[in-house]
Amino acid sequence: MQSWGFQVDALDVARWQFGVTTVYHFLFVPLTIGLSVLVAILQTLWHRTGNERYLKLTKFYGKLFLINFAMGVVTGIVQEFQFGMNWSDYSRFVGDIFGAPLAIEALVAFFLESTFIGLWIFGWDRLPKRVHLASIWAAAIGTNLSAYFILAANSFMQNPVGFRINPDSGRAELTDFVAVLTNKVALITFPHTLAGSFLVAGSLVLTVGLWHVMRNRDSTDTGAYRFATKFGAWTVMVATTAVLITGDIQGKIMTQVQPMKMAAAEGLYTTESPASFSVLTIGSLDGSREVFALKIPYLLSYLGTGDPNGTVHGINDLQAQYASQYGPGSYTPIIPVTYWSFRMMIGFGLAAAAIALLVLWSQRKGRTPTSRWLLRAGLVLPVLPLLANSFGWIFTEMGRQPWIVFGEMLTRNGVSRSVSLTEVLTSFTAFTLIYATLAVIEFKLLVRYARAGVPDLTPAPVDDDTDDAERPLAFAY
Amino acid sequence: MELTTIWFLLVAVLFTGYFILEGFDFGVGMLLPVLGRDDRQRRVLINTIGPVWDGNEVWLITAGGAMFAAFPEWYATLFSGFYLPLLLILLALIVRGVAFEYRHKRPEASWKRRWDTAIFVGSLVPAILWGVAFANILRGVPLDADHEYVGGLVDLLNPYALLGGVTTAALFLTHGAVFIALKTTGDIRERAGALAVKLGVGTAVVAVVFLAWTLSIRSSAAAVVLAVGAALALVAGLAAARVRREGWAFTGTAVAIALAVATLFAALFPNVLPSSLDAAGTLTATNASSTPYTLKIMTWVAVVFTPIVLAYQGWTYWVFRRRIGVQNIPQH
């Protein structure tokens, strides 16, 4: 069903809404995942060494973390409701399997995260130091754990396992929950996503540190900012390594379980053995053959199979195979979208790593970087891994199309039948407007607090005679 | 007991917990312009729920997740059918949650005023709409034989459901006033206590009418007992509020909310979403449920983790048990 601007239907709008709200939600999630751990590490350093600069950095980056955290929380509720609201037939079809990880995510991870974040924010003077430190770790663990459950749910859509189709109801039913949780796609997507998140968090820590190092050279806090810059840069380097290793394994698994997605990532129209990696391919407008291509021989075979001479199936062959397996119809994703999003993911990620490396080099042996270009590159740095994460999600979700559950349910069959075009348009418009407004507010606040720098820790004069009930709170909204 | 019955009870418990906890959060938000006469007073009000509102909201996420996992048909029909009310609830929860975190981030009065409005509206809208939604669940909605919602928005705005909305908003207002009286000192505490009694009388009248109407639509012996219990708990809570026994007053309104929600679920059982058209369209705890295998796994997860969650969430309330007043609010 092809539809253009003048004949939009509820399905198109529901898909756009899912895309926009999910990509938007995932601008905040990586920072929450990564920064919770980095802040916890900074606080642990303070706890271990007693050095005040780590405390300053904990409070400073903690503030940035919380400005971001609020957005992640509120945009997350939309995600859970959206399956039922816009994708009710999908929810009916997979509820027996898909609902469980969502419920467990809330019970096991979200409660932990939200409760201990509250304790951490307001508990500076209420909790013993150790317990307060444990709170940020508990929140960080909750956050990272939540990623596992939601990725296990998503992995079922990519590579359905541990289920059977009930012949009477036509619904998917869970037969092996352990298989769902240990789906090989989930096991590799989890570390890949975490690594991508640390890439974002490390970049932010680096950028803010670098800006202060270069702008306030004589500040008493320069040492703290220098440390932050290096801490962020090393986080980016380690995360990039992890992203590359996990991404490589993920590519091989994708070639096995979703060969069409791999072919679509590459714009590989005909089956090749050995297959070459496309640096740039321009396809014909109808997307059935290539017009121009620049390629590295053997590389795609190696990426996809681990063997430089391995066979990688092409789009046209897979399309023919699926048509005979699932009935007539198109089983090919939109090739320009998958092809370019795959390259943007890799390109933006590597660009981020390159900048982090330059920054590390510029600070070697205690030097202070002075290049204006380096500062400019440093300032755009956090945007790059955010784009890489977004394009990664666009690639993996668009590469699964036309399926909502690969091989089991088409996306167009999952949409809510009872929801009208007007309703879904209202909802899409409302979310887009409110999200755009909040994005501007959030970004300005982040910049404001990033520029303000680390806090002054000189304690306010406290009258020892003051009753505890009269004393100001260490933190208040 | 059947696994489907256990999960019906668990979903009921999760929504009950949600309404007790976020009920007073909503109440505090709605009372912000009433009890908060200046910025410092408004900050006192917001800080009574500061450390806990996020954890309270997770009860909703867990209830939604449990409904999806245990009763996918219920989740799918309800969420797609009650589309616009749920959209409004989501938008309200978004601006409200962000407002708590962002309000104090800039010193300008205009900035704070805007977020105060967001907190007020973001609390009022869900406080009304949850009542509208649950009243409609109990009353029944137009469902076809495939369990698809075939009504429109107008079908959800019937007099009984609107009274349900007024009832939840009134209950949460009273509950919130009682909570503020329990958690603050000084002038705010006095005014909140007095307001709770005034609000409570009107709330009790509305709640009794709503519960009686509920029982006239759908009833069971258990539902009648629970409804009477809800009314008694509310009256007892108000009596305690009158003599400024704030802990007991809060217990009273919390129990009243719990029993009122329990009344709805008891009257509903074994249905989960009755059809007002074809009886074949009615969703029950049996025909809307997941397979026994899924329910069994979920039961184990709930048995292991629910006590842990309750323990650490309860501990949070203990840590932040201290009353606060304007003297405790730092300068910035």
Among A residues 222-281, those touching chain B with beta carbons less than 8 Å apart: none
Q: Are residues A242 and A375 located together in one domain of the fold?
A: yes
pLDDT tops 60 at residue A2? no
Closest residue in B to A437 (Cα–Cα): B95
pLDDT, one tens digit per residue, over A118-176 is: 999 999 988 999 999 999 999 999 999 999 999 999 999 999 999 999 999 899 999 99
pLDDT above 90: residue A311: no
- Number of structural domains in chain A: 2
Q: How far apart are CA A220 and CA A340, in angstroms?
A: 46
Compute φ and ψ for A273, nearest 5 degrees: -150, 110
| Cβ–Cβ under 8 Å, residues A233 and A360 | yes
A434 touches chain B (CB under 8 A): yes
CA distance B205 to chain A (A): 34
Residue A447 lies in a domain: yes
d(CA A424, CA A410): 19
Residue A1 included in any domain:
no
ipTM: 0.92
Question: Which residues in chain A are closer than 8 Å to B320, comparing Cβ atoms?
Answer: 122, 126
Interface of A with B in 199-218 (CB under 8 A): none
Residues A346, A245, single domain; the answer is yes
Question: Nearest by CB to B54, which of A117, A431, A449?
Answer: A117
Percent of chain A with pLDDT over 90: 74
Whether residues A88 and B79 touch (CB distance < 8 A) is answered with yes
Q: Do residues A443 and A379 touch, judged by C-beta distance below 8 A?
A: no
Residue A291 and residue A425 in one domain: no
Alpha helices in A258-334 (DSSP H): 259-266, 299-305, 315-326
How far, in Å, CA of B100 to CA of B166, rounded? Answer: 25
pLDDT of amino acid A199:
96
Within a domain: A407 = yes
- If asked whether residues A275 and A349 sit together in one domain, one would say no
Condensed to tens digits (0 to 9), the pLDDT of residues A320-331 reads: 999 999 999 999
pLDDT higher than threshold 60 for residue A3:
no
Domains of chain B by residue range: 3-201+269-328
All residues of chain B having their beta carbon less than 8 Å from the beta carbon of residue A127 are: 319
Mean pLDDT computed over every residue of chain A:
91
Same domain, A130 and A202: yes
Domain for residue A10, yes or no?
no
Give residue A441's Cα distance to chain centre: 21
* Residues A347 and A410 placed together within one structural domain of the fold: yes
pLDDT tens-digit map of B133-166: 999 999 999 999 999 999 999 999 999 999 999 9
Whether residue A369 has a cis bond before it, omega within 30° of 0: no
State the CB neighbour count (10 A cutoff) for residue A384. 23
pLDDT value at A1 more than 50: no
The residues in A 170-189 lying below 8 A from B, measured between CB atoms, are 173-175, 177
| B82 Cβ contact partners less than 8 Å away, ≥ 6 residues apart | B133, B136, B149, B156
Hey, is B327 helix, strand or coil?
A: helix
Cis peptide before A385 (omega within 30 of 0): no
CB contact under 8 A, A115 and B60: no
A289 and A416 share one domain:
no
B contacts of A447 (beta carbons < 8 Å): none
What are the residues facing B283 on neighbouring strands?
B273
Write down the residue that tokens 């698994």 correspond to.
A253
Check whether the bond before B72 is cis (ω within 30° of 0): no
How large is the average pLDDT for residues A268-288?
75
- Residue of chain A with shortest Cα separation from B300: A104
Alpha carbon of residue A76 to chain centroid: 13
**A366-392: average pLDDT:** 90
**A236 compared with A461, residue with greater pLDDT:** A236
pLDDT digits (tens, 9 = 90+) for A216-251: 777 788 889 999 999 999 999 999 999 999 999 999
> In whole angstroms, what is the distance from residue A379 CA to residue A376 CA?
5
Domain membership of residue A458 (yes or no) is: no
pLDDT at A308: 82
Residue A340 belongs to a domain = yes
Q: What's the domain range around A198?
A: 23-258+333-452
pLDDT at B13 over 80: yes
Distances, alpha carbon B193 to alpha carbons A112, B44, B45, B108, B176, in Å: 33, 15, 14, 31, 10
A196 and A146 both lie in a single domain: yes
Judge whether A467 lies within some domain.
no
Higher pLDDT, A297 or A332: A332
User: Coil, strand or helix: which one is A244?
Assistant: helix
Model confidence at A466, in pLDDT bands (50, 70, 90)? low
Helix and strand numbers (H, E) in chain A are 15, 6
Whole-model pTM above 0.80? yes
3-class DSSP state of A410: strand
Mean pLDDT, chain B, integer:
95
